[in-house]
């Protein structure tokens, strides 16, 4: 059934993620699977009882009963393993910005996101609408996996979503050529698949990641869709990658993060706040 997985820790932010999952599951006729991670197997039995109670409560409140699994291990490994094993379609994870992510997971949400091949939808609040009507798609000069294009089509088909491409500015001639190449690719894909879109250009007065978030806020976008950095390094966790800034945005805008495969592609596009 390609379930929607919601990491669950019995907190309000996890419940926010569940509400998003209900919206998505209804559109796609999917099962919702709550996933709770325990560090020691001796804790699993008690948590299974609590999870069963939580599922009953959610069913009464939101009209859709999830299934659940309690997994022993580290959140940085177990979430990805369960998602792969269950052939999940998406992982919807609740946080309260950067500090909330640290409290919820013991580290940055980005480290959890890049641990899985499955796309994440990172949310901070409950959804404001019944469907995802608009998605902001940042494009810059950096080459990245083409896999994201499939998710553009997927969201457009599932929710009749409209896309707005916001392209960055590149002063360097080489970077500018790459940006033009990326734009040609994505426009060709969207036209071929009859996906409605428009294009805007960032002003270049602030960092691209800041302009992406501000544009999404000013124009009431439902989701920002980004690519995770390929082969992310320790320094990105330490100093904060652009993806982390966007995912923990102060306006609580949901962010869909697609993880690139560990293969090199000769051409393509990147959509993150570089």
Distance between CA atoms of residues 253 and 222, nearest Å: 7
Residues 151-157: what's their mean pLDDT? 87
Mean pLDDT of the chain: 83
Is the pLDDT reported for residue 263 higher than 90?
no
Give residue for tokens 């796609």.
28
* pLDDT for 261: 62
116-152 tens-digit pLDDT? 788 999 999 999 988 899 999 998 776 664 567 778 8
For 70, the token pair is: 């309690």
Distances (CA, A) of 198 to 129, 158, 186, 233: 22, 19, 12, 34
| pLDDT reported for residue 151 | 85
In DSSP terms, 6 is beta-bridged to 34
Q: Residue 104: its pLDDT value, please? A: 43
Which of the pair, 12 or 105, is modelled with greater confidence? Answer: 12
Ordered by where they begin, the domains of the chain are: 4-123 (3.40.50.620), 134-258 (3.40.50.620)
- pLDDT tier, 4 (very low <50, low <70, confident <90, very high otherwise): very high
Banded model confidence at residue 233, pLDDT cuts 50, 70, 90: low
Q: How far apart are CA 118 and CA 3, in angstroms?
A: 11
pLDDT score, position 213: 96
Contacts of 10 (CB under 8 A, 6+ apart): 50, 54
């Amino acid at each position: 059934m390609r379930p929607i997985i919601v990491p669950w820790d019995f907190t309000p932010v996890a419940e926010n993620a569940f509400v998003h999952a209900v919206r998505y599951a209804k559109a796609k006729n999917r099962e919702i699977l709550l996933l709770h991670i325990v560090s020691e197997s001796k804790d699993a039995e008690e948590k299974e009882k609590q999870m069963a109670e939580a599922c009953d409560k959610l069913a009464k409140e939101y009209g859709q009963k999830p299934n659940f699994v309690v997994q022993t291990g580290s959140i940085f490994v177990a979430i990805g393993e369960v998602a792969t094993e269950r052939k999940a379609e998406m992982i919807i994870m609740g946080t309260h910005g950067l500090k909330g992510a640290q409290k919820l997971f013991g580290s940055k949400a980005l480290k959890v996101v890049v641990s899985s091949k499955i796309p994440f939808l990172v949310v901070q609040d409950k959804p404001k609408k019944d469907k995802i009507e608009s998605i902001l798609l940042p494009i810059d000069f950096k080459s990245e996996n083409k896999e994201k294009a499939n998710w553009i089509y997927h969201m457009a088909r599932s929710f009749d979503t409209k896309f707005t491409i916001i392209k960055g500015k590149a002063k360097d001639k080489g970077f500018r050529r790459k940006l033009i190449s990326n734009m040609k690719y994505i426009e060709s894909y969207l036209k071929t698949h009859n996906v409605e879109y428009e294009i805007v250009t960032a002003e270049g007065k602030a960092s691209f990641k800041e302009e992406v978030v501000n544009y999404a806020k000013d124009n009431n976008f439902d989701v920002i869709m980004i690519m995770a950095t390929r082969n992310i390094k320790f320094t990105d966790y330490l100093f904060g990658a652009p993806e982390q800034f966007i995912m923990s945005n102060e306006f609580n805008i949901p962010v869909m993060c697609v993880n690139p495969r560990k293969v090199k592609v000769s051409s393509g596009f990147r959509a993150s706040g570089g």
